[in-house]
Amino acid sequence: MSSEHARQPVTMREVADAAGVSVATVSHVVNNKEGARIGEDARQRVRDAIHELGYRPNALAKTLSSGTSNFIGLVADAIATTPFAGQIIHGAQDEAWKHGYVLLVANTEGDPAAEDAAITMMLEHQVRGILYSTWFHRAVTVPEALRETDYVLVDCYEAGSTAPAVVPDEVQGGRTATELLIQAGHRTIAFINTTSPSPAQEGRLVGYRSALEAAAIAYDPDLVLNAPSDQEGGYAALDHVLTLDATAVFCHNDRMAMGLYDRAHERGLTIPGDLAVVGFDNQEVIAAHLRPPLTTVALPHYELGAAGIRRLLGDPNPSGKPILIPCPPVIRASIA
Amino acid sequence: MSSEHARQPVTMREVADAAGVSVATVSHVVNNKEGARIGEDARQRVRDAIHELGYRPNALAKTLSSGTSNFIGLVADAIATTPFAGQIIHGAQDEAWKHGYVLLVANTEGDPAAEDAAITMMLEHQVRGILYSTWFHRAVTVPEALRETDYVLVDCYEAGSTAPAVVPDEVQGGRTATELLIQAGHRTIAFINTTSPSPAQEGRLVGYRSALEAAAIAYDPDLVLNAPSDQEGGYAALDHVLTLDATAVFCHNDRMAMGLYDRAHERGLTIPGDLAVVGFDNQEVIAAHLRPPLTTVALPHYELGAAGIRRLLGDPNPSGKPILIPCPPVIRASIA
């Protein structure tokens, strides 16, 4: 047991005794009560005693007496399986702390019972509000209990409702990926999209088409394939891409690009010499370490978390539609 | 703003009015006060009113009146950059909930000021204790503020101290990885270790040697290389491995194995036919999707988090040494 390490917490009474004042005086100083008439001398003795004894004010008591807590809840569905959830937490925590709030994080791994328990726990702790986040961009049904407090959906949205939401700008991301290839001189650009229906599938295709249109390149539906969104999907798609006379390919995500690289190397092709490649996600552990390193478009998870907190705390959004967060390009070495 | 969604919390007074009892009676029922003489009929009316009105007890008030909180803190240094931290959180949360505790998670990204702020925040919230975790196994200096409460180090330890700690069993993991190759008939087994001094570097080598010894295979130091622990390190090491007449290679981690695969494929080698490969970590997004999928040894992050909570809440450890968590094999297709 580690109990022998733990010191007993210092009480307000001990601070009062050390400073030679009443407990009420210590309380006034600690809580910055306005209008309390305490001399600067006594105030300083209290501060000195606090410092010397290592007294820590009780945040829960403060919460209770002020009637509002400094907690914001974050419900995440996949902390354990993806670094993406971690980046949402990081962004949300940094932004919450800036505003004096502490993040209560709960991990549900998609289990409805865990989700219900997490939201209940947060409501019982009088949270200021809750961010409800998913690890990939999708439509959700807002859990009934969420409506008991302020909430913001992060990386998800409710179809046909005005539920506050913050999501990545898939259309802009798809356009940016395609533009990177167009700017390098490519005109015949294949797009390996995912087979999974999702806002990413739809939005990135819209972005791909709008980039072509802006460059006066005719849209050719034969250049758009669909494949499972993992390495195996990208690997299997490469042979088809080679029949299309494409000089460049936009992969729906970095995992597909990794598989596509493997098959391209097996076939003796050079990237980017024989085929330029752009990914999506910026999944660092893959994209930064492929041969050559993969140029891609980042999913802005940190920004999603931070923007979710700002929306919760009052950033106005008169449109009633989800707020779109830009997906920035990350330039490496797979386009020439 | 989402405020228009939020309902006013139901008060104990409203429950009392609906049930036709006093607020004190509601309080007794909610807090399961023993010895309170309340008829079963009134008790049922209170429960019905709670259910009907959606009343939620105030967990903070309970905490304050009982003098202990149901919070356990978890300080993590790299939530945003690795899924490993996520798995520690997942394991810690599941175990904490089992015991009626809620996890307060703080992310520091290795910043000492953020760490200090996180620990202070947790102490102010009267946490039952704190897990202090790192995303890779290493020695740390226990922050002074941690000693004000019960704590457990997770995936780290303090050299030469009895600070309670839970870490992966690197020696057993290295032995298991090597045994997988020996069991497949390999006798000349290269080991590409990391260049970074760490418990993993040291422990996995001890495990490698002990597996050889148990199989009566002489240890040949020429078979042990050192390389940077990423894809580029594994890629560059393959050529050296091929000069050693090894039929199998144990890579310090999965990222190195990924780079080694790339170079092996460039050189026209088949895995596992020409060279058997085993990794370490079980970094799913890589290991499960290499060609062929990588047999490896898992770092038990979920278990580290769960064991940390059990240690904090009183699992005895008379030895005073860090508790070792086993690293299990994950069999895929890279050994023949």
Distance in angstroms (rounded) separating the CA atoms of residues B24 and B114: 43
For the domain covering B71-163+302-325, report its CATH number.
3.40.50.2300
Asked if the C-beta of A111 comes within 8 angstroms of chain B's C-beta atoms, the answer is: no
Quick check: B82 pLDDT over 90? no
Residues B79, A56: C-beta atoms closer than 8 Å: no
Tell me whether the CATH fold assigned to B71-163+302-325 matches the one assigned to B170-299: yes
Q: Match 């000089």 to its residue by tokens.
A: A247
Q: Quote the DSSP letter at residue B281.
A: B
Residues A63, B63: C-beta atoms closer than 8 Å: no
Interface of A with B in 224-253 (CB under 8 A): 230-232, 235
Residue of chain B minimizing CA distance to A270: B266
Residues B56, A125: C-beta atoms closer than 8 Å: no
Q: Which residue of A79, A108, A147 to mutate against B (max B Cβ within 10 Å)? A: A79
Average pLDDT for residues A54-72, to the nearest whole number? Answer: 73
Asked if the C-beta of B55 comes within 8 angstroms of chain A's C-beta atoms, the answer is: no
For the domain covering B3-57, report its CATH number.
1.10.260.40
Maximum average pLDDT range among A330-334, B69-73, B121-125, B283-287: A330-334
Query: Was domain A71-168+302-325 assigned CATH 3.30.420.10?
Result: no
Quick check: B107 pLDDT over 90? no
Quick check: B70 pLDDT over 90? no
Asked if the C-beta of A318 comes within 8 angstroms of chain B's C-beta atoms, the answer is: no
Quick check: B1 pLDDT over 50? no
The interface pTM score, or ipTM, of the predicted complex is 0.83
Residues A59, B124: C-beta atoms closer than 8 Å: yes
Residues B230, A150: C-beta atoms closer than 8 Å: no
B137: helix, strand or coil: strand
Segment among A215-224, A266-275, B13-22 with least mean pLDDT: B13-22
Residue A85: closest CA among B96, B154, B82, B73 = B82
Contact yes or no for B90/B111 (Cβ under 8 A): no
Quick check: A63 pLDDT over 70? no
Residues of A in contact with B142 (CB under 8 A): none
Read off the pLDDT band of B84 (50, 70, 90): confident
Domain range list for chain A:
3-57, 71-168+302-325, 170-299
Asked if the C-beta of B37 comes within 8 angstroms of chain A's C-beta atoms, the answer is: no
Residue range A309-321, pLDDT digits in tens: 999 999 888 888 9
Architecture of domain B170-299: 3-Layer(aba) Sandwich (3.40)
Residue range A202-260, pLDDT digits in tens: 999 999 999 999 999 999 999 999 999 999 999 999 999 999 999 999 999 999 999 99
The backbone region for B155, taken as left when phi is positive above 0, alpha when psi lies in -120 to 50, beta otherwise, is left
CA distances from A57 to B123, B165, B317 (A): 9, 29, 33
Residue range A67-87, pLDDT digits in tens: 667 889 999 988 767 777 788
